[in-house]
Amino acid sequence: MKPIYALLWLTLVLLLGCRGCNPPEITGITPGSGFARQIVNVQGSSLTFASVVWDAGLGSEQLADHALLSARYFQIPASAATGSHPVKLRNTGGTSTSSFNFTVNALSGTWPAPRIEEATVNYFNEKGGGLADLFLLLSVANVDAKAVVTVNGADQTSVLYSAIASDYFNTRTASTFNYPVYHYGGLLVFLTDQTLGSTLNISVRNTDGLTNNTTYTLPASAATLDSDNDGLLDTWETTGYPAPGGATIDLAAMGCNPKRKDILVEVDWTAAGQPLNTIWGDIEAVFANAPVLNPDGSAGVSIHIDRGQGGAFANGGQTLAAHTTMDFGPNPAAGYTDFFTYKNNNFDADRLNIFHYGIFGRARPNGSSGRGEIWGNDFMVTFATFSNWNNRAAQVGTFIHELGHNLALRHGGIDNGAVDANETFKPNQESTMNYRYQFPGISIDCDLTADAPAVHSYSRGMLGSINENAVNENAGICNNTAIDFNSNGTLQNPVTVNTNPSTNDSDNTDIHINYNEWGNMRLNFTATGSRWNNN
């Protein structure tokens, strides 16, 4: 359906509503409390074609801004006062008999500017003459449902399509964060007659006038479209990947979806490095829970790990020859086993452009727990000689950490040339990429102590910067949770202290910045500029 016809259809549906429908019913809102302007999730029945009635039955009753053709998501009105507010649903069949009382909390600090995480494609139609119609999906942190989207200087029609609601700041003081994320919203933007191969200059403007900008480059044709930016072309994920050797790899049978991000990984191991069988579900859950919106309206990333479990995944899970140490090579004089000797003998070359390859081995020559190519496709887990080798959280964390390097993530942030991209222990990078949290999991309660049970994740970029020349130990890293950074038994403000003690950082002159890793992953390891070596 062309965008112009889709808009006409949408207008007709909105005018007609759902004739003869039964009234909707509301059973809950997640979270059940929050802040004015926050987007939340609705539970109930007959949500399609329903509207959200805020302050139902009161003099302040109004219809809240909600998702396209559905009440599944809505935004708390900006004018909402603190306290309890009755919420009902309504369609052409009537108003719900049930209601839910939503509690509005007082906002701490000011509402952040929108932050565009990514632009993906929900719908694409190559129409001839070098032009295309498309629905662009913008995933934006803290976006308003009625935000204005501008493309190449012109305002465009857009609607709220999807969202990720959060209750994180119901128990934390948002003003102690540099960029608190209350929600992620997906804005569907309707574009016509766009030039193939051109770059779109995009701006999102919230209702308070604050903006954020990004660019999106259209494909040269529908045949080269990668709607979800995961490095797997849509045609590969629907009709199969045409491998160089002549075979067709059925990515759909592996669970791949052209409108949802997928990561493909093949894993083998040595006998000494055989991982626990319990880690795979944990790893899958880390990515499934990612704060990432997809073109199909879903949230999260699907990671498909071939460890020889059967069906379409029959290549992985091989037990490799033993080694004393292993590393990327070749360097015969060093005396270690070359990772690529294993890969050349055990990895199907037809998968080279689409699969990451990971090996659980015994050890690296330098004794480190693993290594991953930065924005590449190969990684290794090598801490079988460590005392915590059989620790489930440590194995999960090291896999997530080393694969994260393949996704262009560094210990202190993304690989963008930043001064602290290699800082390995900085306290305000709440990420499994951080050596502080690789084994035990991250801290989400601001105290630098890993949570129990372990939580592994990449950073959302919410915490404030730390100036080591003027550290406020009373404020800590967030939520005013005090931290004695120099361990002298006294909380000081200000104090000069090295908050990132490591072998490559012995001074106390740094300013540590919290990077948004989930919003800056690079899944296409064969893209121009990557460090992929075609091996």
pLDDT tens-digit map of 319-354: 999 999 999 987 766 889 999 999 999 999 999 999
Say whether both 362 and 245 belong to one domain. yes
Reading the block at residue 116, the tokens are 């565009």
Say whether both 64 and 133 belong to one domain. no
Q: State pLDDT tens for residues 239-270.
A: 999 999 999 999 999 999 999 999 999 999 99
Give the whole-angstrom CA distance, residue 166 versus residue 174.
Answer: 13
pLDDT confidence of residue 9: 47
**Model confidence, pTM:** 0.95
Say whether both 301 and 166 belong to one domain. no
Does residue 52 lie within any of the structural domains? yes
pLDDT band at 13 (very low <50, low <70, confident <90, very high): very low
Residue where a domain terminates, one of 174, 194, 224: 224
Question: In the predicted model, what is the mean pLDDT of residues 405-415?
Answer: 85
Q: State pLDDT tens for residues 283-321.
A: 999 999 999 999 999 999 999 999 999 999 999 999 999
Query: Is the bond into 453 cis (omega within 30 degrees of 0)?
Result: yes
Max avg pLDDT among 9-23, 84-98, 504-518: 84-98
Residue 390 carries which DSSP code?
Answer: T
Q: What is the percent of the chain where pLDDT is above 70?
A: 94
Question: In the predicted model, what is the mean pLDDT of residues 273-291?
Answer: 98
Residue 219 carries which DSSP code?
Answer: P
pLDDT band at 412 (very low <50, low <70, confident <90, very high): confident
> In a 10 Å sphere around its CB, with 0-12 CB exposed, 13-18 middle and 19+ buried, how is residue 223 labelled?
exposed
Say whether both 265 and 367 belong to one domain. yes
Say whether both 81 and 124 belong to one domain. no
Q: State pLDDT tens for residues 58-73.
A: 999 999 999 999 999 9
Half-sphere CA count of 219, side-chain side, radius 13 A: 21
Tell me the residue ranges of DSSP E strands in 220-369.
241-242, 248-249, 262-270, 302-306, 319-320, 326-327, 337-338, 356-360
Does residue 385 lie within any of the structural domains? yes
Residue 471 carries which DSSP code?
Answer: B
Question: In the predicted model, what is the mean pLDDT of residues 203-225?
Answer: 98
Question: In the predicted model, what is the mean pLDDT of residues 210-217?
Answer: 98
pLDDT confidence of residue 506: 78
Tell me the residue ranges of DSSP E strands in 233-344.
241-242, 248-249, 262-270, 302-306, 319-320, 326-327, 337-338
Between 235 and 531, where is the model more confident?
Answer: 235
Say whether both 243 and 371 belong to one domain. yes
Residue 333 carries which DSSP code?
Answer: G
Q: How many domains does the chain have?
A: 3
Residue where a domain terminates, one of 200, 224, 248: 224
Backbone angles phi, psi at 175, to 5 degrees: -65, -15
Q: Do residues 512 and 428 make contact, with C-beta atoms less than 8 angstroms apart?
A: yes
Does residue 229 lie within any of the structural domains? no
Say whether both 267 and 387 belong to one domain. yes
Of 405-409, 462-466, 507-511, 530-534, give the lowest mean pLDDT range.
Answer: 507-511
Q: Residue 9 is part of a domain; what is its CATH number?
A: 2.60.40.10
Q: Do residues 327 and 371 make contact, with C-beta atoms less than 8 angstroms apart?
A: yes
Helix (H) or strand (E) holding 165: strand 158-165
Half-sphere CA count of 352, side-chain side, radius 13 A: 13
Question: In the predicted model, what is the mean pLDDT of residues 156-162?
Answer: 98
Does residue 303 lie within any of the structural domains? yes
pLDDT confidence of residue 415: 52
Does residue 7 lie within any of the structural domains? yes
Q: State pLDDT tens for residues 99-128.
A: 999 999 999 999 999 999 999 999 999 999
Q: State pLDDT tens for residues 350-373.
A: 999 999 999 999 999 999 999 999
pLDDT confidence of residue 528: 92
Q: Do residues 186 and 137 make contact, with C-beta atoms less than 8 angstroms apart?
A: yes
pLDDT confidence of residue 239: 98
Give the whole-angstrom CA distance, residue 505 versus residue 395.
Answer: 27
Say whether 376 sits in a helix, a strand or coil: coil
Look at the block and give the residue holding tokens 């009234």.
23
pLDDT confidence of residue 420: 61
pLDDT confidence of residue 334: 80
Say whether both 203 and 278 belong to one domain. no
Say whether both 258 and 345 belong to one domain. yes
Q: What is the average pLDDT score of the chain?
A: 94
pLDDT confidence of residue 275: 98
Say whether both 327 and 183 belong to one domain. no
Residue where a domain terminates, one of 406, 421, 454: 406
Q: Residue 308 is part of a domain; what is its CATH number?
A: 3.40.390
Length of the chain: 535
Question: Taking 60 as the threshold, does the pLDDT of residue 97 lie above it?
Answer: yes
pLDDT band at 17 (very low <50, low <70, confident <90, very high): low
Does residue 488 lie within any of the structural domains? no
Does residue 294 lie within any of the structural domains? yes
Structural domain for 303, as ranges: 234-406
Q: What is the percent of the chain where pLDDT is above 90?
A: 89
Say whether both 354 and 265 belong to one domain. yes
Does residue 461 lie within any of the structural domains? no
Q: Residue 149 is part of a domain; what is its CATH number?
A: 2.60.40
Say whether both 360 and 245 belong to one domain. yes
Look at the block and give the residue holding tokens 């075979």.
247
pLDDT band at 1 (very low <50, low <70, confident <90, very high): very low
pLDDT confidence of residue 37: 98
Helix (H) or strand (E) holding 212: strand 211-217
